[in-house]
DNA sequence: CGCATTCGGTTCAAGCTTGAACCTCGGAAG
DNA sequence: CTTCCGAGGTTCAAGCTTGAACCGAATGCG
């Protein structure tokens, strides 16, 4: 249906290629640090850290999934592994027993506390410390905007079923 | 070794979380469009597109790997699949027969040409069209900077062996 | 000359992600 | 009442990525 598509101009192309390069490399770099030092992937860390900041160190699974931008399927698999390592438990939500929640254990909390400094240092090294304050603000705005566009598209295509 | 780590302030944290969210969602959204419409992953597309823009539609494997920010191992696996689909060939480099090159076939070229409009439209929809020209420039600078930091860290750790 | 290292690339096993299929439970609609 | 549907989760097979081990060909370097 696109008769003559609108190609990217030079500036847009460079921005997109740079972003693509970032997307391909940054996750690997952060994964590598966490795996080496704490035997966690970046995704594992986000899950545990998300729980650690929630009231009662607890979240409903679907809330957790949306917080870490993942499918329920992926989250379920990861939770199984983390539960086997004793870092969290799954249990029915006492308020509404048809929901499940994930609860961070003491061991899970300790691991987040132990992993956080190294992880934050890596985020600084790779991302934050190379940028000016204006660039950090711009990054936040751009990334929020893009995330929002992606979410809207996802909702649209759900509606379009 | 980190006595009291430098945590992220509110602004830095927001920027980092937004970027993380982007990194988790954007690749999936672009993959989904290409898979649905052209049976290619984003990574496949970058490989084919990289070849299509190279002189002679040909690149040495290691040059291609660095262009698409991937390990040689990953590239080798992907090339095997793309070669089986007849989209490219591998052959020794005539200039220096100990190197191998990947050469885009006619079918590969046709597929890139067919896939490009839809892919560009998705990049516009998810990324470019939501941003002002200043934001696009800022994005390029930020993403370049981050990529560079990651590359430097990778080189450092290679040196540090 | 010979030894070791590096570079370019491939392969393999282990682990991770994805999407589809499935299950259960609680409404809403007929 | 019962039938249907959707939301919350889980599971499974298929496919992808990763890192380590490996190979052959050059290129030091002693």
Q: Cβ–Cβ contacts within 10 Å for residue B92, how many?
A: 11
Q: Is residue B62 part of a domain?
A: yes
- Per DSSP, A55 falls in state G
Decide if A141 is inside a domain: no
Residue A157 included in any domain:
no
Q: How many domains does chain A have?
A: 1
pLDDT in tens, A45-65: 999 999 999 999 999 999 999
Phi-psi region of A56 (alpha: psi -120 to 50; beta: other; left: phi over 0): left
Is residue B40 very low, low, confident or very high in pLDDT (cuts 50, 70, 90)? very high
Which chain B residues touch A131 with a CB distance below 8 Å?
142, 145
Q: Across the interface, do A130 and B147 touch by the CB < 8 Å criterion?
A: no
Residue B103 within any structural domain of the chain: yes
Residue A160 in this model has a pLDDT that exceeds 90:
no
For residue A127, give the 3-state DSSP assignment: coil
The answer to the question of residue A59 being in a domain is yes
Q: How far apart are CA A64 and CA A20, in angstroms?
A: 27
Q: How far is the CA of B99 from the C1' of C1 (A)?
A: 27
Average pLDDT over residues B108-120: 97
Query: Does residue B147 lie in a domain region?
Result: no
CB–CB contact B12 A135 (8 Å): no
Residue from the list B12, B117, B153 with its beta carbon closest to the beta carbon of A125:
B153
Distance from CA of B131 to the nearest CA of A (A): 7
Q: Is the pLDDT of residue B134 over 80?
A: yes
Scan residues 14-73 of A and list those with Cβ closer than 8 Å to B: 14-16, 18-27, 29, 43, 46, 68-70
The dihedrals phi and psi of A71, each to the nearest 5 degrees, come to -70, 155
Range of the domain at A33: 16-130
Q: Convert the pLDDT of each residue in B60-82 to its tens digit.
A: 999 999 999 999 999 999 999 99
- pLDDT band at residue B16 under the 50/70/90 scheme: very high
Instruction: With respect to residue B155, please indicate whether it lies within any of the assigned structural domains.
Output: no
CATH number, domain of A32, equals 1.10.10.10
Distance B145 CA to C4 C1' (A): 38
Beta bridge partners of B92: B100
What are the structure tokens assigned to B92, written together? 């020794």
Q: Is residue B90 part of a domain?
A: yes
Q: Is the pLDDT of residue B1 over 60?
A: no
């Amino acid at each position: 249906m696109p008769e003559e598509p609108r190609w990217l101009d030079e500036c847009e192309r460079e921005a997109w290629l740079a972003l693509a390069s970032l997307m391909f490399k940054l996750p690997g770099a952060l994964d590598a640090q966490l795996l080496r030092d704490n035997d966690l992937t970046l995704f594992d860390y986000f899950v545990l850290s998300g729980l650690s900041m929630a009231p009662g160190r607890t979240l409903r699974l679907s809330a957790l999934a949306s917080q870490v931008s993942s499918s329920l399927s992926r989250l379920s698999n990861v939770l199984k592994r983390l539960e086997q390592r004793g870092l969290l438990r799954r249990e029915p939500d006492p308020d509404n027993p048809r929901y499940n929640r994930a609860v961070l254990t003491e061991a899970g909390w300790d691991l987040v506390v132990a992993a956080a400094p190294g992880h934050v240092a890596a985020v600084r090294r790779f991302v934050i410390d190379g940028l000016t304050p204006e660039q950090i603000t711009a990054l936040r705005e751009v990334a929020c905007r893009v995330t929002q566009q992606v979410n809207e598209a996802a909702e649209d295509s759900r509606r379009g079923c």
